[in-house]
Structure 1
Amino acid sequence: MATVAETTFRILRARGLTTVFGNPGSNELPFLAHLPEDFTYVLGLHEGAVVSMADGYALATGGPALVNLHAASGTGNAMGGLTNAVYSHSPLVLTAGQQVRSTIGQEVMLANVDAATLPRPLVKWSAEPACATDVPRTIDQAIHTALLPARGPVYVSVPYDDWAAEADPESAHLAGRTVTSGGALTEGQRDELVALLDEAHAPLLVLGPQVDAAGAGHDAVRLAEALRAPVWIAPSASRLPFPTRHPAFRGVLPAAVREIAEAVEGHDLVLVVGAPVFRYHEYVPGRFLPEGTRLVQITEDPKEAARAPVGDAVVADVASTLAHLAHAIAVADRPEPPPLPPFPEPRTLPGAVHPDELFALLREHAPDDALYVVESTSTAASFWAQMDLREPTSYLLPASGGLGFGLPAAVGAQLGRPDRQVIGLIGDGSANYGIAALWTAARHRVPVVVIVLKNGTYGALRRFGALLGTGETPGMDVPGIDFTALARGYGVPARSVAAGADFVVALKAALASDGPSLIEVVTAELDEDGGPR
């Protein structure tokens, strides 16, 4: 008779979940004791890093990722990472060990009290099986739920004595099940959208992360070219849905009501595909849209559609919708957008590396298909001005601004995509949140390149301080951190540079390595115009 553990591992294997990201406690040992030889356990030194590594892995591969947490304490440590995973629609399957089933109500040490409630609302679905024999079915339900549109993280708490129990023989059917979704547009919806776009005088496309996640970037390009329409990336997008050097590309929309309205001025139709309407951040109130502008949203997430404050919404599969529109739209009788101007001359700094210069050198010397995981908020303007990103899944950003995503996610993304070079661009403030992931990179010889931009301050906070008029406040600066010493302590070769030429030498050495590397780049605190403060 098969045990609950054996049956569950058959299900996980059938779903491709043979890599486990975790940080174990005593409640998890019975699960790990049964881990089959064809499974890989990726140990992280803190649950926040564990979840972000799994998030990067899932985003880079396009598949689910399995996470094993320790009861309530480990789940609590992981919830900062979950704030990003829920908004990036990452299909993470989180499991957590629970105390022996008969003792939970006594609230003994390490009992996860009301376990299913703890991670809400940061998961799509959460459960603790009612009995041991229901564990395999619950795990199977969790996997399918995570992968069905709109994708998202799920959570299952399992009492640790359940794993050794006998499984229900009927559980053998679970590994062979399939669950698919058919969320395509109806013929009437397709015809209405095509007519709307054909009749628009000045349409505008706003594309979001679901486009990249669906592998629909090429159809997005075809649609933009047929419409002769400019393209913006939705504000705060966690992925890149459109090539940055295409003539139609206009950049990333600002994350403020009034500024978005100003950006879409002059367009009678705004088609938002694969993004919320909108992820505002800076409170700059105003009209949602200019007079005479209509907005239509296409999203796979019914919650995004329902909570939008403006426009009409269609909940549908993004890939098939874009494919249909790209081939059904007649080429518009409008002039083609002019070619983009050359890259601006990168600014330099005395005794440091300006972000302009850093990103220009990356553009020149990094592989064309590099995958960038970015958590350096204050250098975003320089990044978009200097980078040439053309490949699908070439850019990942923390979807909800939760610091600690970038460095671990870069490690996880490189684990998931050994065929692509992953480069983490991490601010020195955010690097400290996930620094322990360097140990995992060293342990598994993950050839990720981590670039820490060191300016000694929380640059994004200083910009917000200027916006809010708060002036100088405590807690803005983080001076005196030697990231090369930290990296070496975790077993990762590291080098500090303060000049562009030295950065190129360090980058070439890192790219030639068969293991992880860290480059600390000394930059400077910049003002709003990009000059030294």
Structure 2
Amino acid sequence: MTTPTAGDGTVRAATMQLLRELGMTTVFSNPSLTEMKLFENWPDDIRFVMGLQEATVVAMADGYAQATGVSPLVIVNGGAGLGNAMGSVYNASGAHTPMVIIGGQQGRRMMLGEPFLKARDATLLPQPYVKWTGEPARPQDVPELLLKAFHIANQAPKGPVFVSIPEDDWVRPAAEVPVVPRRVRNAVSPDQEALTELAAALNAAERPALVAGPAVETQGARQDLVALAERLNATVYGSPAWPRASFPETHPRFGRHLPPIPAMISEILSGHDVVAVLGGPAFTLITSMDLFATHPADLDSKVVWDALPEGTTILHVTDDPEQASWSIASTTYVCPPGAAVRGLVPLIEPRGEAAEPVAREEIPVPEATEPLTQAYLFHTLAQELPPDAAVFEELPIDRTYFHEQIHLGPGNDYFASTTGALGFPFAGAVGYAMARPDRRTVAVVGEGSAQYTLHALWTAAKHNLPVTFVIPDNAGYVSLKISIMEQEKWRSGWDLTGVDTAAIAQGFGCPAERVETASQLQEALKRSFTVDGPVLLDVMIAGPEGIHL
């Protein structure tokens, strides 16, 4: 390591200075031979965070970016390394996470042949799951190209970008005139006429509802959405595949999370005359009821959304023009959702006294059984969870049980995958804790999902990060089991018997224990939230009998 200097006149030195001026001073990487010249004489003032596999590296960077709002730099090999990382890049794209990914390329003088670790057609590999790709025509163009990438990543809708850089470019002479960072200010604001139109529709509604999407939270408007809901006496729903805590689940105006199935969304929203979808797609879907049928179905007989509730007007606010192009809303407004929510609050006429709290289905208190159920695990976790904990969740089949038992309040941050690509929450929790070591981060991830980025345990242990990993362990990919549970011959496709996640965690240097009883569970959770550094609890549970939405 070296201290920062005026530089040695190379592209590498000019790039390091640019990173400082942009505030990109945390770098996540799994280095390869195609970046070695960049890592020579690495400065002390740029933090280097090592990950053991590229998917883990990108997911950690994603969590860091969501914690800080600052674009991290990711450095991986641009061929095999980026290929390993693509599941996490796919998720970062869906989450609109701004990050700059440098893909190391073989040296220019080597490119006439097929050298080791060459990235063939390097800019094509990450498409279409990055906003933009580039590669320098000349070595001295590298800093300017990275500056362009940074600004594209941070323009709405935000997202990851990729730059392929030949290894020998780093030690070439930099341009004689240094790159001066330009300021690009987001000055886009909602059109006042559009806000007035939207407010008029909500004011005239008899039974209004709001659907809270992730952009409300990422754009800092969570409390404004609370004020909007209270003035309207509106029911607030979490968007399908709820990826961010854009509205406190403990608030009396909160209804539930919308299931990602069109027929169920239509049924829930049919009780409202006006529904405003704010800051998320309209809507993210996973499947349709037809695909749950055990008998042959005519899947071409109708379109997915032929059953929209009659008499319900759906309005949509998004900053993503592509979302607007396929939205099912009758009117979509393309503008920053956070600013739109803030602008709507003073335009809404208060409806007098607060209405009765939204009626919710009464959920019975689960009993302690052997083996434990996921409902009991989440019930116990809710009792012990720190009120300011940041929660990362990946429970493809148990998610509804989680939200029924754990109602996250205004002090909790919450993160989940937006795309179904497994692995983000486990490693994202580590990246978040890297940025916020002042609070406890809790990752609740099934043992099957955890395997995708389990390497993050090593980074958590190395940096002694305050992360509690809670693993509801039912020894299988139960979503697959349930989907075709009558076919015993498919057992080999979902059975994870013999995977000892606690032992694996210990092998990475992370303290861990196996939990099998109710008394063990409560004590283990209490300890896990007060220890210095990371800990993993591998909690043995029974698998669910069916899908619960």
TM-score w.r.t. length of structure 2 = 0.92
Aligned partner of residue 215 in structure 1, secondary structure: coil
Match status 1:498 vs 2:505? no
Which residue among 431, 445, 453 is the counterpart of 1:426? 445
Cα distance in 1, alignment partners of residues 95 and 259 from structure 2: 19
Query: Given the alignment of the two structures, is residue 46 of structure 1 paired with residue 53 of structure 2, yes or no?
Result: yes
- How many Å apart are 1:471 and its aligned residue? 7.8
- SS of alignment partner, residue 10 of structure 1: helix
Match of 2:104 in 1: 97
Q: Which residue of 1 aligns with 2:467?
A: 448
Q: Counterpart in 1 of 2:67? A: 60
- The 1-side partners of 2:82 and 2:360 are apart by 48
3-state SS, counterpart of residue 374 of structure 1:
strand
Query: In the alignment, what sits opposite 1:521?
Result: 539
Is contact 2:230–2:354 with CA below 8 Å preserved after alignment? Answer: no
Matching of residues 439-478 of structure 1 within 5 Å: 439-465=458-484, 473-474=490-491, 475-478=493-496
The number of residue pairs the alignment matches comes to: 526
Deviation at 1:231, TM superposition (A): 0.8
Cα distance in 2, alignment partners of residues 288 and 445 from structure 1: 51
Please identify, of 5-14 and 134-143, the stretch whose mean Cα deviation from structure 2 is larger. 5-14
Tell me the equivalent position of 1:328. Answer: 347
Question: Which amino acid counterpart does residue 166 of structure 1 have in structure 2?
Answer: P
Q: Which runs of 5+ in 1 are unaligned?
A: none
Q: CA deviation at 1:24?
A: 0.8
| Match of residue 258 from structure 1 | 263
In the other structure, the counterpart of 1:391 is: 410
> Aligned to 2:532, what secondary structure does the other structure show?
coil
For residue 528 of structure 1, report the CA deviation from its aligned partner.
2.9
Residues 458 and 477, structure 1, Cα contact 8 Å, conserved in 2:
yes
Give CA-to-partner distance per residue, 1:58-114, whole Å, 9 cap, x none.
112222121110120000000011111101111121111111123324332222111
CA distance in 2, matches of 1:356, 1:233: 20
Query: Among residues 181, 186, 197, which one is paired with 2:186 in the alignment?
Result: 181
Q: What SS does the aligned partner of 1:226 have?
A: helix
Report the counterpart of residue 6 of structure 1 in structure 2: 13
1:488 aligns with 2:506: yes
SS of the aligned residue for 2:178 comes to: helix
Per-residue deviation, residues 420-439 of structure 1 (Å, max 9, x unmatched): 21001010111111111111
Counterpart of 1:293 in structure 2 is: 312
What does residue range 107-256 of structure 1 map to in structure 2 within 5 Å?
Answer: 107-174=114-181, 177-256=182-261
* Residue of structure 1 equivalent to 2:388: 369
Structure 1 residue 287 displacement after superposition? 2.2
1: CA distance, partners of 2:163 / 2:41 = 18
Matched, 1:84 2:91: yes
Question: Which residue identity does 2:35 align to in structure 1?
Answer: E
SS in 2 for 1:378: coil
* 8 Å contact from structure 1 (residues 137, 171) kept in 2: no
Give distance in 1, aligned partners of 2:489 and 2:367.
Answer: 26
Counterpart position of 1:406: 425
Mapped contact 2:373–2:543 kept (Cα < 8 A) = no
Q: Distance in 1 between matches of 2:387 and 2:317?
A: 31
Q: Does 1:305 align with 2:324?
A: yes
**Pick aligned residue for 2:23 from 8, 11, 16:** 16
Query: Does 132-141 or 454-463 show the bigger shift?
Result: 454-463
Q: Which amino acid aligns with 2:209?
A: L
How high is the TM-score relative to the length of structure 1?
0.94
Matched to 2:477, the amino acid is Y
Higher mean displacement: 310-319 or 263-272: 310-319
1:171, CA displacement in angstroms? 2.9
Secondary structure in 2 aligned to 1:505?
helix
Distance 1:148 1:414 in 2: 25
Distance 1:81 1:91 in 2: 13
- 1:148–1:342 Cα change, 3 Å: same
Q: Is the 8 A contact 2:316 2:329 kept in 1?
A: no
- Assess, with a 3 A threshold, how the Cα gap between structure 1 residues 470 and 131 changes in structure 2: closer, same or farther: farther
Equivalent residues of 1:243, 1:391 under 8 A apart: yes
Shift of 1:341: 6.4
Aligned counterpart for 1:315 among listed residues 334, 338, 343: 334
Counterpart CA distance in 2 for 1:191 and 1:339 is 27
Distance 1:21 1:118 in 2: 20
Give CA-to-partner distance per residue, 1:104-140, whole Å, 9 cap, x none: 2433222211111110011011111111111001101
- How far residue 342 of structure 1 moved from its aligned partner, in angstroms, is 9.8
Matched, 1:351 2:370: yes
Q: What is the deviation of 1:340?
A: 5.8
Q: What is the Cα deviation at residue 165 of structure 1?
A: 1.4
> How much has 1:351 moved relative to structure 2?
2.1
Secondary structure in 2 matching 1:129: coil
In 2, Cα distance between equivalents of 1:102 and 1:352: 62
Counterparts of 2:249 and 2:191, CA distance in 1: 32
1:388 match: secondary structure: coil
Q: 1:358 to 1:99 in 2, by over 3 A?
A: same
Matched residue of 1:172: which SS?
Answer: coil
Q: 1:333 to 1:528 in 2, by over 3 A?
A: farther
* Equivalence for 2:528: 510
Cα distance, 1:30 vs structure 2: 0.8
Structure 2 residue runs without a partner (length 5+): 1-7, 290-303
CA separation in 2, counterparts of 1:413 and 1:526?
30
Q: Deviations over 1:316-341 (max 9, x none)?
A: 11222111111220013686132666
